[in-house]
A and B are shown apart, each in its own frame.
Chain A
Amino acid sequence: MFENIFGIHEQALMVQGQRMGVLAANLANADTPGYKARDIDFAAVLSQNQGDTSLPLAVTDGVHITLGGSDSSPGELKFRNPYQASLDGNTVEMPVEQAAFSETNVRYQASLTFINTRISELTLAINGS
């Protein structure tokens, strides 16, 4: 009964933590010439970890297309498409990264809150008071 008490949030916490690290690296390299900003596709990683129920198309040759149009496996870091290219080849856009960072922060805290609530519920059930 206890193997899945936290549901999706256990994995969500891990992936959000990883994403936060990637975004921090983007912010750290905001002034590095030629640096390409990267990000994690959160939904793709989560559906992979959850065990995607849709059947994949078998790829036996390099020219075969995959279902869904994405040719890279989920969980891979992907390069961000900049809104405005800069001359030094850096694709970090500070406002975009900061917004993504704070979004990840909120999502991380939301998952934490859900887990904490679950723990409180279980403690209440165990104590029965």
Chain B
Amino acid sequence: MSLFDVFNVSGSAMNAETIRLNTTASNLANAESVNGDVSKVYRARHPVFQAMMNSQSGLDDDQDASSGVRVMGVVESAAPPLQTYAPDNPLADKDGYVYTSNVNSIEEMANMISANRSFSTDVEAINTARDLLLKVISMGH
């Protein structure tokens, strides 16, 4: 574990936050998507983060400090889609209903802000580690 690990750890976190931002963008873009088939309607997606223990240092997992982040998977929200009666809609089913995606725009906006903050923190950590290492290189000059 050294200062160099900060680059790997924070880098993996930035990658995970980027995936989170991507799903948020996808969710917000499809917030108003409709479909006549309830099984095919767009459902909000969210990534699941997991700590990535790195056992290269020979320590057991509990003692290994370098734990980056990885996206274990992307899960779809189980919330029910909104059912609307719109017989004029060409996508409506035989009873005249369309289904709107279950994306909660407010939740997605909050999610986006949180991802933004976390990303900034990771960038800050990398910048700090870089500054310190540059100072170590110029030690004694």
Binding site for B on A (CB under 8 A): 13, 17-18, 20-25, 27-35, 38, 76-77, 94, 98, 101, 105, 108-109, 112, 115-116, 119, 123
Pairwise interchain contact A119-B139, C-beta atoms closer than 8 A: yes
Which 5 A-B pairs rank lowest in CB-CB distance, beginning with the nearest?
Answer: A28-B13, A119-B140, A24-B6, A32-B49, A22-B65
A32 x B125 contact (CB < 8 A): no
Number of A-B contacts (CB under 8 A): 99
B10 at interface by CB-CB < 8 Å: yes
Size range of the chain B interface in the assembly: 35 or more
Q: Is the CB of A33 within 8 A of B49?
A: yes
Chain B residues in the interface with A (C-beta under 8 A): 1-3, 5-6, 9-10, 12-13, 16-17, 20, 48-51, 62-63, 65-69, 114-115, 117-118, 121-122, 125, 128-129, 132, 135-136, 139-140
Residue in contact with B1 in the complex, picked from A21, A33, A115, A123, CB distance below 8 Å = A21
A32 in contact with B50 (CB, 8 Å) = yes
Contact A21 B62 (CB under 8 A): no
Contact B139 A24 (CB under 8 A): no
Chain B residues within 8 Å of A24, by CB: 5-6, 9-10, 125, 129
Which residue on A lies nearest to B121, using beta carbons? Answer: A27
Across the interface, do A28 and B2 meet the contact criterion of CB distance under 8 Å?
no
